[in-house]
């Protein structure tokens, strides 16, 4: 299934170091932190896939727990909807409407499975996955860059989310992301 997303979601820091970006996984903060040291800001998944197996090449990506990412996408969607960005929709949605009409279709890069966004011809492009929770530790450690949050969490005024609504279907749809997320080492401290 296509996400309709054709953006170039990798940054080349050097010809040996790349980082993949995903919506709702610190993309804006990562882009801003690494822009000063980036040699090519918009590299396609396909181009990175062709060099990832070369000796010494590192390809990093962050993965967020799919439910937390979906919740963030829901609030993002409704915030944009309230601002009139998507006039084809009929106003702000409830969690149930969002799940029914959008989320489980996976047709938008803000909520498509992350594994799908980082897979080329059936193979994961990242050589190293990191948990989103480790973002503040990993970015300075690997890239020697401070991180400044550009989209801080906004909890007030948000619509409620039912974590059990169609959860079995949700977990099946995002099974690959859940597997990657839970197979990673514990959070870095």
pTM attached to this predicted model: 0.86
For 113-134, the pLDDT digits (tens) are 999 999 999 999 999 999 999 9
pLDDT digit string, tens, across residues 76-96: 888 877 776 665 666 678 899
Q: Give the 3-state secondary structure of residue 97.
A: helix
**pLDDT > 60? residue 4:** no
Tell me, what's the pLDDT at 3?
A: 44
Q: Is the dihedral of CA 38, 44, 45, 49 positive or negative?
A: negative
Q: Is the pLDDT score of 2 beyond 50?
A: no
The torsion angles phi and psi of 145, rounded to 5 degrees, stand at: -135, 140
CB 132 within 8 A of CB 120: no
CA distances from 100 to 4, 5, 93, 188 (A): 19, 21, 10, 35
Contact assessment for residue 86 and residue 48, using Cβ atoms and an 8 Å cutoff: no
């Amino acid at each position: 299934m296509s996400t309709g997303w054709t953006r170039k979601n990798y940054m080349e820091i050097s010809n040996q170091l790349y980082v993949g970006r995903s919506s709702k996984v610190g993309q804006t903060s990562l882009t801003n932190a690494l822009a000063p040291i980036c040699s090519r800001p918009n590299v396609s998944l396909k181009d990175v896939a062709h060099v990832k197996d070369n000796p010494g090449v590192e390809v990093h990506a962050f993965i967020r727990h799919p439910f937390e990412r979906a919740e963030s996408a829901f609030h993002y969607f409704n915030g944009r909807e309230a601002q009139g960005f998507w006039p084809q929709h009929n106003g702000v949605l409830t969690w149930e409407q969002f799940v029914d009409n959008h989320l489980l279709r996976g047709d938008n890069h803000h909520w498509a499975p992350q594994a799908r966004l980082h897979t080329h011809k059936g193979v994961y492009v990242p050589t190293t996955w990191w948990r989103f929770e480790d973002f503040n530790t990993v970015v300075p450690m690997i890239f020697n860059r401070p991180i400044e949050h550009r989209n801080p969490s906004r909890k007030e005024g948000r619509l409620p989310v039912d974590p059990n609504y169609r959860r079995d279907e949700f977990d099946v749809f995002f099974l690959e992301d859940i597997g990657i997320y839970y197979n990673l080492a514990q959070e870095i401290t």
